[in-house]
Amino acid sequence: MQNSVVKTLQVGFVQQSCTADTAANFAKTIAQIRIAAGQGAKLVVLQELHRGLYFCQQEIAAHFDLAETIPGPSTQALGTLAQELDIVIVASVFEKRAVGLHHNTAVVIERDGSVAGKYRKMHIPDDPGYYEKFYFTPGDLGFQPIQTSVGKLGILVCWDQWFPEAARLMAMAGAELLIYPTAIGWSPNEAADEKVRQRDAWITVQRAHAIANGLPVISVNRVGHEPDPAGGAGLNFWGSSFVAGPQGEFLLCASVDQEETAVVAIDLLRSEQVRRMWPYLRDRRIDHYSDLVKIYRD
């Protein structure tokens, strides 16, 4: 099937909780992918680092044992599944590229089971509870969409979702969808009003990427409490996975605290209709944007 004939795409996502049992987590993921495919999904998106706990709450060298190569066990298992179900899968892998060199990598599995491409997370956070710079080398593949049988996918990962430059560059390179595998939550110690502000900001910034680029957005987050290995409060992942259309309109929203597998139809022709009305790419003033390559204008 050629991408040019795809007008409506059935998209599924898997929002799940995780434990330290990576085999059980992966088995649950595969079962949910089957459910999404059974509901008609031709593209299924998984959350960030879906095989296990979000291990970046602390800097622990033994966690590097969780990393795997691409291709490797996860991509091989998902490739077999994708071929069986005739679907495209967006997965997330703690990639071991070489000894001492690791990435947070989204990998796209094509319908024939092959690896269509991968994206290595470009923006790496280093905040309390999110010590990712200890584990992940920043990506070196740039902001390049991945061509698949269901469309040209602009894959970005979690912290990337806060940066409008990343979404714009994917759109400029021809992405037809923006996809964000995610692992984000709040501390149980946060005040209730602060929790609301954080979650609302996360949703709003991604809807803005949809609007500013005239593209659908798929954002898939994990859910549930995960303990801090050092005995701290841990993290409550706020779920809220969603799909938005090219004007930021919600097409599908998941709950804050429940595991969910859901499927929704995306009209891929709407992006062109929206861009004709709101031609942001036409009106960009690139002759005055040179300062964007600076960290800050002093």
Alpha carbons within 13 angstroms on the beta-carbon side of residue 219 total: 35
Alpha carbons within 13 angstroms on the beta-carbon side of residue 41 total: 24
Give the residues across from 242 on adjacent strands. 219, 253
Please confirm, yes or no, whether 253 is among the known catalytic residues.
no
Dist CA 298 CA 289 (whole Å):
16
**What Rg, from alpha-carbon coordinates, does the chain have?**
18
Annotated active-site residue in 28, 121, 132, 176: 121
Annotated active-site residue in 42, 56, 96, 158: 158
Please confirm, yes or no, whether 56 is among the known catalytic residues.
no
Annotated active-site residue in 28, 42, 48, 132: 48
Contact 175, 150 (CB under 8 A): no
Please confirm, yes or no, whether 48 is among the known catalytic residues.
yes
Q: Which residues are catalytic?
A: 48, 121, 158
